[in-house]
Amino acid sequence: MDKKILVATTNKGKLKEFKQILGQQGIQVLSLEDMPKKIDIKEDGETFLQNAIKKAEGYAKFYNIPVISEDAGLVVEELDGYPGVYSARFYSVDYGGKEKVETTKDKANIKKLLRLLEGKKNRNAKFVSVIAFYNPEDFGFWAEGECRGTITTEPKGDKGFGYDPIFIPEGYTKTMAELTPEEKNRISHRGKALHKLLNLIKTVL
């Protein structure tokens, strides 16, 4: 399969994972930085699916190229499902009080999450990924993946991004940030959703 697909994300960690998985299928991944003109599509949906579809359709029609767009996040039982769709900007959300960004937004998000879970017994959580594919010829589809696990009490590992350093997947003793890229792609929410989506994409490309 020798096709080009725009992966509509500015997150370098996500882009790297998409390139690893899609590259194995002979798909060339373009990023938003490769595009000549820039547009901004707001992620203002109430669900991962709404955000993923909105971005995929919007970018596909603007650039006239097949687009893959993902919305993903961490859902924590004890925190009423937060950070959820606010995962990337949890530090700035009123829920639980805002967290000051001292170094990076990822670290501020982690600091806030650990603060809110301090002393809590229920540390169950899951990563959720919804990936939408949209073709400018006006059709598309989507797939969802989950990875269940628990939240640690302190960050560990320097691989991955986002909440990876504080998330231990079920059946593992290491955090996501301590796993190799190959291990992570095999079990991650994003890897599961993307492999489901690839089976659908192969039928139309």
Q: What angle do CA 53, 57, 63 make, to 5 degrees?
A: 145
Average pLDDT rounded to a whole number, residues 142-168: 96
The predicted structure's pLDDT at residue 48: 95
CB–CB of 154/133 below 8 Å? no
pLDDT digits (tens, 9 = 90+) for 73-112: 999 999 999 999 999 999 999 999 999 999 999 999 999 9
Euclidean distance between CA atoms 175 and 74, whole angstroms: 14
The predicted structure's pLDDT at residue 65: 92
Q: How many domains does the chain have?
A: 1
Average pLDDT rounded to a whole number, residues 138-159: 94
Average pLDDT rounded to a whole number, residues 47-52: 95
For 108, phi then psi, to 5°, come to: -70, -40
List the one residue out of 178, 125, 116, 188 whose CA is nearest residue 151.
Answer: 125
Q: Which domain holds residue 37?
A: 3-201
The predicted structure's pLDDT at residue 1: 42
Euclidean distance between CA atoms 45 and 73, whole angstroms: 13
**Other C-beta atoms within 10 Å of 180: how many?**
9
CATH assignment of the domain containing 180: 3.90.950.10
* Residues classed as catalytic: 71
Percent of the chain residues past pLDDT 90, beyond the cut: 71
Tell me the pLDDT band of 205, cut-offs 50, 70 and 90: low
- Bridge partners of 150? 124, 168
Q: Kindly report whether the peptide bond that precedes residue 165 is cis, defined as omega within 30 degrees of 0.
A: no
How confident is the prediction for the chain on average, in pLDDT? 92
